[in-house]
Each structure stands twice: as C-alpha cells, then as structure tokens.
C-alpha cells in the first residue's frame, strides 16, 4: 500500500474504548483467533504486561487508538520515556510488542509528526544493548524505511532518519554494508552538500557524524572515496569550519582521520589538498576532540610516500607537536607520527633531528612514559638507525637515546617490537664498523646494560628474536676474530647439538 494512502480510522471516544476493554477482557480467549489478535492489539499491554511507569502505559494504550491527535500524544509519551533518563528501561518498550507498530508509523507520509516521534523512539531503542537493537533491525523494515526518509521534505523527519541510520551503522558492520549497498552514503553526502548553506550547526553535526560512522571501521566504503573527498574539500573551504568551537569542526576532523586511514598511495595523493595550513592550525586550537583526530589525519598521511611526508614537514608540523606532549592523550599518536617520519629518507630524518625542541620532547617521553608510548619512541630511534645515515645514527647515540632504548627493550612483551629494536642495534653496529665508531657504540651499549639484555634475549622462544640477539653477540661482542651470521638452519643444528 502506498504510504500516502494509509489513513487513521474514524475517532472513537477514549472512555468508551477503555470501558469496552474492561468488559471484554474475560472473553478474549474464547473468541476466534483473528478477533483475539485484533483485541490484543488494542489492550494487550495493560492486561498482559506489567508496566510500572504510568506515562509509558498511557502512551502505549494511546498509540492503538484511531484518533491521530491521541496517537501522537501516545508517541510523545513513549518518546519522553525512552529519552528521559540516563538509563531508560528500553526493554519495557520492546516487550510491549509495539516495535512493529512504531515501524508502521514511520510509513505514514501524511503524518510527519507521527513519523518523527516514532523514528525518535526507534532511534533511542537502537542506542540500547545489542540484545535490544539487533532484533529490531533484523526483524523489521526499519533500515530501508529510514534510508528512504533521509530524503523527506520534512526536515525534522529527515534528520531523525539520519540519526536512526547512524545507530544502525554503529551496531554492526554487516548492517553498515547493507546500507552502503542501498546507496545511503551517496544520499547522505548529497544531503550534507546542500545543508552546508542551509542548515543549522546541530543538523550538520548529526549529518557528518553519521557519515563518520560509515568510514570509521574497516573495510571502508572506498567506492565513495571520490565523492566524499569532494565534500571534504568543500567543507574545508567553508566558513562554518573557521570557528574551532563549532561542533561541525569536531565531526569534520574525525571524518578526515577516518577517510585517510589505510589508503593506498594513489588515494593518499588525492588527499594532499587537505594537508594545508588551515587544517594544520587545528593542532594548536587546544580542543581535544579536534586536535586528536587532526593529529591522526596527518599521521595517516605520513605513512604514505616520502614526498607526502615532505609536504607535511614543509607545512611546519614539527612546530606544533612539542606543545602536544603536555597532554597524555596525544603522546602515543604524536610519537607514532614521528616514528613514521623517522622511517623516511635521510632528508626527512634530518629535518626531524634539526628540530631540537622536538627531539628533547621525544627523549623526555622515552624516559618517563609507559610501555605503549615507549615502544613508539623505540621505533623512532630504531628507524633512524636503519633508515638514517651514519651521522644521524651517531647523533641519536650522543643524545643518550640508548639508555631508554634498552630499558624499553628489557620491558618489552611484544616479540615483533623486540625484534625490530634488535635490527636497529645491528644496523647501528654495522654502521659503526664502517665509520670507525664501533668501539664507541659497543662501550655505550655495555654502559647502558644493553649487552646483558641482548644476551638474555638469546634465550627467547621466538626464532627471530633469538637469531637477531645471537648474531649481534656473535658478530660484535665475541672475542673470536672470525664469526658468521647464524641462519635458521644453523640455529636448529645448535639446538640439536
């Protein structure tokens, strides 16, 4: 049936309905099945389910009446119940068996107020536990109906439908994928594009937040990348994002961080226009919900080719980063970003090391923070040993980085990290052998307790860690004049012996 053809039945006096319900309650089980079901739709909640909240009980009774005004009153009561406290009893709404009726209401195109209230209730229910949300999504047509109502000419219905879609997306990746297949991302981008010049900040915030949810998790819907990129460029140039206190900026910042994650090099290049001084300036705004995603955005870009890293460095990102070390929530991503700079070519590493304030901050973090941040600092040093030139490696040693480096290696519980650190030390010693600094490096390693740690790692159960540690000891800390690298086959032979 076309939604415009749906009508409410003629009005019936409320008192008459209640009286009739009470008189016939004892006879319901004796009637035919179709009559019993019909009566149950009018009276089931009050007679068959114990609802403590009086307003909820009244609201559920009213939505089964036939007068549109009374039905709307009932929907408002239920909506207030579903959003009135921090932990509303959404289970009571579900167990009252009104979910199918609420979904039906959102198809009533001639009654936008009813659509709006029903959508709001359903959206609130979807914000509950998965035990509540998933049956609603899987056993009704809510998702396709809400997707269609995103295009409603009634603005409040449209934005509520978008909010509902966002909750569906956030519930499960398979629900998100189905909505993507339905073309919801394209529709949403088109709506945001128009809204930039016509809608309020709150409306735009909800719309962009919903788009964020589509790109938040892997696999990201990259078939919509180009269209989303065009939208992001338009937002970037719009006056609405000039004020950092604007909630739209928060959501835009997260959109940048989500869309830029895990891109291949060709798509990363297309993101470059968004790596500009205006976006970079958000790192200095002091608003955590903006700074954190913008830091991640630039970190994502730096994982790309070296020339992208060079552009980000040319913008002056290193001038912003030291100030971010004051807050612990930024340190891990900041050190991760710097470790990726250190994994680039010698010229990018030189830019990093020529920024003494940045290097001082890294050293302080390296010596004082916890494991999750220390390991990122360890990658900074290790990457410089491996990717940098011999002068840069010596500078890291001269700056006393080896002490926190080996302290971190000693506490490491991750074999991959330990192995990468050992590879860095092996490359450092190899460079020292070439440029005549080997004795200096060996002395510094012994002074910092590094030799004891490396020797201990020869007992590791991990093959790679064992081999790296063994070869370092055999090559550089053995009194024999002639040593060879230990291969996996040779290691097996040693164990066999």
**End-to-end alpha carbon distance in the chain:** 82
Overall number of domains in the chain: 3
In the prediction, which pLDDT does 76 show? 96
Same domain for 423 and 339: yes
Same domain for 229 and 111: no
CATH of the domain at 435: 1.25.10.10
The rounded distance, in Å, linking the Cα atoms of 409 and 420 is 10
Same domain for 473 and 326: yes
The rounded distance, in Å, linking the Cα atoms of 138 and 103 is 13
In the prediction, which pLDDT does 42 show? 38
The rounded distance, in Å, linking the Cα atoms of 378 and 396 is 12
Count the residues in the chain.
497
Domain boundary (303, 325, 344) is at 303
Q: For 262, phi and psi rounded to 5 degrees? A: 60, 30
In the prediction, which pLDDT does 50 show? 55
- CB 217 within 8 Å of CB 258: no
Domain boundary (152, 173, 194) is at 173
In the prediction, which pLDDT does 52 show? 59
Residue 178 lies in a domain: no
Q: Can you state the angle between helices 371-387 and 356-368, rounded to 10 degrees? A: 130
Same domain for 235 and 109: no
In the prediction, which pLDDT does 210 show? 97
CA-wise closest residue to 362 among 382, 340, 380: 380
Residue 428 lies in a domain: yes
Same domain for 482 and 338: yes
pLDDT along the chain (497 residues), means of 10: 34 40 42 36 41 83 95 96 85 93 96 97 95 96 97 96 96 96 97 93 95 94 96 93 84 97 94 95 93 97 94 96 92 96 94 95 96 96 96 96 97 95 97 95 96 96 96 86 48 41
What kind and span of H or E run contains 451?
helix 450-456
Same domain for 327 and 241: no
**Token couple for 71:** 């039905």
Same domain for 208 and 244: yes
Same domain for 158 and 99: yes
| Residue range(s) defining the domain that contains residue 230 | 183-303
Same domain for 104 and 219: no
The rounded distance, in Å, linking the Cα atoms of 93 and 443 is 72
Same domain for 119 and 222: no
Residue 310 lies in a domain: no
Residue 308 lies in a domain: no
Domain boundary (124, 147, 173) is at 173
Going by C-beta distance under 8 Å and a sequence separation of 6 or more, which residues neighbour residue 129? none
Same domain for 366 and 437: yes
């Amino acid at each position: 049936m076309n939604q415009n053809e749906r009508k409410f039945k003629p009005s019936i006096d409320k008192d008459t309905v209640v009286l009739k319900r009470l008189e016939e309650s004892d006879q319901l089980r004796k009637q035919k099945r179709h009559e019993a079901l019909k009566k149950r739709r009018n009276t089931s909640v009050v007679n068959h389910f114990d609802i403590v909240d009086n307003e909820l009980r009244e609201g559920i009774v009213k939505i089964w009446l036939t007068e549109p005004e009374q039905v709307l009153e009932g929907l408002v009561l239920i909506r207030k119940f579903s959003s009135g406290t921090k932990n509303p009893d959404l289970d009571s709404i579900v167990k009252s068996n009104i979910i199918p009726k609420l979904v039906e209401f959102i198809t009533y195109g001639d009654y936008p107020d009813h659509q709006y209230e029903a959508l709001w209730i359903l959206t609130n229910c979807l914000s509950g536990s998965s035990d509540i949300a998933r049956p609603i999504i899987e056993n009704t047509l809510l998702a396709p109906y809400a997707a269609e109502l995103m295009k409603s000419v009634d603005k409040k219905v449209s934005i509520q439908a978008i909010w509902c879609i966002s909750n569906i997306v956030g519930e499960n990746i398979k629900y998100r994928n189905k909505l993507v297949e339905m073309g919801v991302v394209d529709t949403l981008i088109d709506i945001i594009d128009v809204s930039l010049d016509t809608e309020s900040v709150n409306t735009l915030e909800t719309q962009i937040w919903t788009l964020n949810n589509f790109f938040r998790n892997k696999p990201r819907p990259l078939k919509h990348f180009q269209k989303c990129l065009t939208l992001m460029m338009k937002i970037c140039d719009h006056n609405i994002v000039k004020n950092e206190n604007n909630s739209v900026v928060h959501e835009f910042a997260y959109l940048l961080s989500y869309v830029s994650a895990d891109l291949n090099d060709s798509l990363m290049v297309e993101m470059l226009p968004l790596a500009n001084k205006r976006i970079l300036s958000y790192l200095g705004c002091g608003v955590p919900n903006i700074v954190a995603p913008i830091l991640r955005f630039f970190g994502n870009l730096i994982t790309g080719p070296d020339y992208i890293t060079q552009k980000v460095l040319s913008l002056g990102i290193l001038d912003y980063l030291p100030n971010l070390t004051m807050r612990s929530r930024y340190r891990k991503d900041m050190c991760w970003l710097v470790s990726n700079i250190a994994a680039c070519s010698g010229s990018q590493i030189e830019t990093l090391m020529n920024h003494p304030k940045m290097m001082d901050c890294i050293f302080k973090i390296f010596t004082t923070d916890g494991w999750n941040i220390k390991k990122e600092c360890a990658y900074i040093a290790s990457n410089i040993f491996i990717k940098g030139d011999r002068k840069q490696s010596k500078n890291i040693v001269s700056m006393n980085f080896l002490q926190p480096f080996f302290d971190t290696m000693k506490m490491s519980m991750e074999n991959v990290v330990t192995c990468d650190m050992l590879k860095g030390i092996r490359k450092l010693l190899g460079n020292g052998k070439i440029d005549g600094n080997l004795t200096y490096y060996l002395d510094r390693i012994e002074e910092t307790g590094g030799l004891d740690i490396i020797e201990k790692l020869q007992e590791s159960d991990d093959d790679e860690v064992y081999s790296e540690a063994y070869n370092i000891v055999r090559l550089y800390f053995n009194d024999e004049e002639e040593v060879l690298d230990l291969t996996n086959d040779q290691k097996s032979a040693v164990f066999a012996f």
